[in-house]
Structure 1
């Protein structure tokens, strides 16, 4: 049977050709980048508190696109990747929390199948027996890894409710590939987490964008979910823009996406862990802050977390 191939809302947003990949590789060899700037580890990690917490709402950045979210008594982790290297490149900084220091995980949210978002050893190291939510088409691969877990495939526009929370799969602009023959045979998505039970609105709605280029779908997400409090958006792996533009946002585009979804607070991610493109951690942050200042946005609406740092919303 012919495999289904997924696509973006914009049909022109496609994976790069082999020729384009080789052109980028040739350009990359001529670039010299200073990689010494580091995000740094949080000086006051709240590991013990996170392990016992079932009351307070918290957001802890572990690194790259991995967050530990504690909402309504549930421990949720996004795209867990604790790998020391990605391909030939060694991780730029250690994860903010290792798997052994995590509380038992209730829910795993996967945005797509790329190795920097879906890492088999990392999934197997998670404590607990979590439910795993994945975009359309990714269920069979994850069920082979997480044999003891309940895996839900959620297409764009649908949602799953677990306890007091609902998890909505929303569009992103990206692509997938883990082997030579499986390009776009599973989908990609972002996740919106809403509190479904009455009396649980204190934390509000959280939007985890996963991995995405800039596209008009951000405005549609803001229209559908007008109460987003926190937007976790990627700012890295954008250079060269001619090559990365359809799949990764620049920092300036990420700020526009934040304004499109009309969230209260922007928490940047997808930078500082792996050298997936030619930009550096320092460049991504400098461009983000410059754009924030240029637009005159209040500084208190931008939260820059260190690795392992916890934002408590209680």
Structure 2
């Protein structure tokens, strides 16, 4: 595993008031000429326009149950959208359990009766979740930071919530007992694992008045046996090269594939399936699983399109990159010495 610095792998991303995406990491090396107010108006105009509508619900999927991992094994369960339950088996101890961007609410919205609504239920019922040791929150958008879910998790145990700078003020409203902010490339030891914050090309806001006041990013989780990368929300860019330069061995990459249309401005914050494959090729993980598709209608692509395009773009590859059903689990086997 490689952790050495390379040229321009940590360019400035904070101007003293707001965070920003380093232009050198953009594929076109360009800065948007629009002001935040102009971008907000354009997005609002698009949101209010006639858009292809997803169905209110999809046919029920087969039920899934959780199992405990063997020592050295990692089980990654896709609960829905960007919510993944990671269970790392440990010899003679309870598994380490980490949940990413937990959202179990019916809507990802500041309003109870308005905003994107689920078309697929969580793949695992909230009541069936095992005790959670660590919560990873990639940024403050409502489809990733769900305060009602976080409040219940806070009451169920004593989880440590790890996030990026500027998000503490939001998370404190959920009553989480422990919150730790990590800037890009910062690391901490927690519950026997090393957690590092990684860059992403995205943005943040929970109101029209706090745009980019909090940072966004992903995480690398390193245990004794496995290394898992959770990308959070991100566009395609050269930050994936910087991540690969530091972690040349990744067992599992969790990459977003949805919410990419209309492409003229979604390309700056979200990858489409073909770009997710490019990220896979840059990171060179042993395998990957897809997130950020098929649960909430946030953009214009058809509900089944991201997974279909991923399968088409990734066909005939030796290493798997799967779009799982909600509740389905991907197993990372123990290393040979742990069998």
- Residue 304 of structure 2: SS of its match in structure 1? helix
| Corresponding position of 1:145 | 174
C-alpha RMSD of the superposition: 2.3
Q: Please list, as runs of the form range in 1=range in 2, the aligned pairs for 1:119-198 lying within 5 A after superposition.
A: 119-126=146-153, 127-147=156-176, 149-195=177-223
Who is 2:325 aligned against?
Answer: 306
Number of equivalences: 297
2:249 equivalent in structure 1: 227
Mapped contact 2:184–2:198 kept (Cα < 8 A): yes
> What are the equivalent positions in structure 2 for 1:275-290 lying under 5 Å apart?
275-290=297-312
Partners in 1 of 2:291 and 2:70 — Cα distance?
25
Structure 1 SS opposite 2:170: helix
CA shift, 1:312, in A, is 2.6
1:25 to 1:131, Cα distance in 2 relative to 1, 3 A: closer
Q: Which residue of 2 aligns with 1:69?
A: 86
Give the C-alpha shift of residue 4 in structure 1: 2.1
For structure 2, the 5+ residue unaligned runs are: 1-14, 24-29, 110-114, 334-339
Once residues 273 and 326 of structure 2 are traced to their aligned partners in structure 1, the CA distance between those partners, rounded to angstroms, is: 19
Q: Is 1:252 matched with 2:274?
A: yes
**Where does the alignment leave 5 or more consecutive residues of structure 1 unmatched?**
none
Secondary structure of the structure 2 residue equivalent to 1:18? helix
2:294 & 2:59 partners in 1: Cα distance? 7
Q: What TM-score does the superposition give when structure 1 sets the normalisation length?
A: 0.87
- The one of 229, 232, 237 equivalent to 2:259 is 237
Q: Give the conservation status (yes or no) of the 8 Å contact 2:165–2:214.
A: yes
Query: Please, what TM-score do these two structures have when normalized by structure 2?
Result: 0.81
Please tell me whether the aligned partners of residues 192 and 208 of structure 1 are also in contact (alpha carbons under 8 angstroms): yes
